Chain A
Amino acid sequence: MGPADQTSLEALLRAANRGDEGAYAAFLRAVTPIVRGVARARGPGLAPEAIEDIVQETLLAIHQKRQTWREDLPVRPWLYAIVRYKVVDAFRARGRHVQVPIEDFAEVLPGEPDADPTLWSDAERVIARLDPRSARIVRAIGIEGASIAQTSADLQMTETAVRVALHRALKRLASLGAQMIDLDPEARTE
């Protein structure tokens, strides 16, 4: 969490803005433990899967709103504001009210994933609500690790069409995720 780390977050996101996918993945991996730490500190009673749901919702929000970071400003205040908003929002949707004071971010240790692979149960439910082709694209690229080029060959689509479909699918995942939680807050509290 020193200044070196801070420099690297800005450098990573700046490179990501120039189209460097590897830097963007590294940025998202670097912020994930921060998000997880805050979610866990706020909801100590929540099951690891529920924590990971919140982590993934927040990452999707960071992804959707990444253009609101101004390159001449530090990343952390921006990042913490998004995390605070989404974590409070996620708990509210689950019928719990939490405050996330800014001091949290100083105290919270970055969270490592809990023992097992952090499955996002919601993600599966939400992906199931996408149209079949979008769902296939998200699974191929995310779970199977296929490239855009491979996916476009497999699905006989142009690369541009795959990129647009992936972009829209993630946008829809972000909004569907929030909607589905709003629909059944009860089912998600335990």
Chain B
Amino acid sequence: MKTDELIRAMAADSLRPRGPRALLPAVTLVGMLALALAFLSVLGPRPDLGTAIMRLPVAVKQAFPPLLALAAGGAALRLACPGRFLGPWALLLAAVPAVLLLAAVAEFLALPPGARMPAMMGRSSGQCLLSIGLMSLPLLAAALWALRHGASSRPGLSGALAGLLAGGAAAAVYSLHCTEDSPLFFAFWYVLAILGATALGALLGARLLRW
């Protein structure tokens, strides 16, 4: 087949493929909503959510996972367009961990030495890792599916961003239930679970996001 003939066949194909720009936010929000309904119907939200959130550490705990997910999603969508890189999303991606680190350091300094380790270990680290890890899996699958409609020239990096989005979104759901409010706890265990999803996303993305 000559190139001109291929062009003729392509020009006759008037069905527009879907892009990831609408798909990624849609599948992520629907996934989060479904997971929140399922998860909270079993374990329930923390009873004092409305008042607790007025305290700064709790506000940080509630805000950082969705912000991380937003930054990762925005960056992944930009990267899915050939010729574009992370852009301003990189700033938010860097700012969120910086705030977390600041909160953890402040907590570390505020606590007496003997109270630091118990605060970090908490009482629910296993449940935290398991819940965020499991909830991030369907979200990661959905994000990778949506990003396959894009064209990233860095499939591994895009996969990692999909994992960060999935982990952040899963942590956002989990945080509605969790009563561990020490920054030492969530800056360690939440981040550990989110990093697990990020690593899995990088591995999968390197294969699945090639085109």
Contacts and interface: CB of A to CB of B under 8 A. Distances in A.
A63 interface: yes
Given A68-B81, A70-B81, A78-B82, A84 B153 contact: yes
Nearest to A124: B1
B3 A55 contact: yes
Chain B: number of interface residues, binned into ranges: 20 to 34
A117 B2 contact: yes
A51 to B, nearest CB: 11
A28 B11 contact: yes
Interface stretch (B16-24, B59-67, B192-200): B16-24
Name B's interface SS.
loop
Contact of A61 (B4, B9, B20, B211): B211
Given A67-B18, A68-B19, A29 B12 contact: no
Nearest to A145: B8
B211 A17 contact: no
Interface string A11-31: 000000101011011001100
Contacts of A61: 151, 211
Name A's interface SS.
helix
Interface in B1-36: 1-20
Nearest to A144: B5
A52 B2 CA distance: 9
B80 interface: yes
Contacts of B210: 89
Nearest to B12: A141
A24 B83 CA distance: 21
A90 B8 CA distance: 23
12 contacts: A32-B7, A59-B10, A61-B211, A68-B81, A78-B82, A120-B1, A120-B3, A141-B9, A142-B5, A142-B9, A170-B9, A170-B13
Interface of A: 17, 19, 21-22, 24-25, 28-29, 32, 52, 55-56, 59-61, 63-70, 73, 77-82, 84-85, 89, 113, 117-120, 123-124, 127, 138-139, 141-143, 145, 147-148, 163-164, 166-167, 170-171
A-B residue pairs, 10 tightest by C-beta: A142-B9, A81-B82, A81-B83, A25-B11, A77-B83, A123-B1, A67-B19, A65-B151, A142-B5, A167-B15
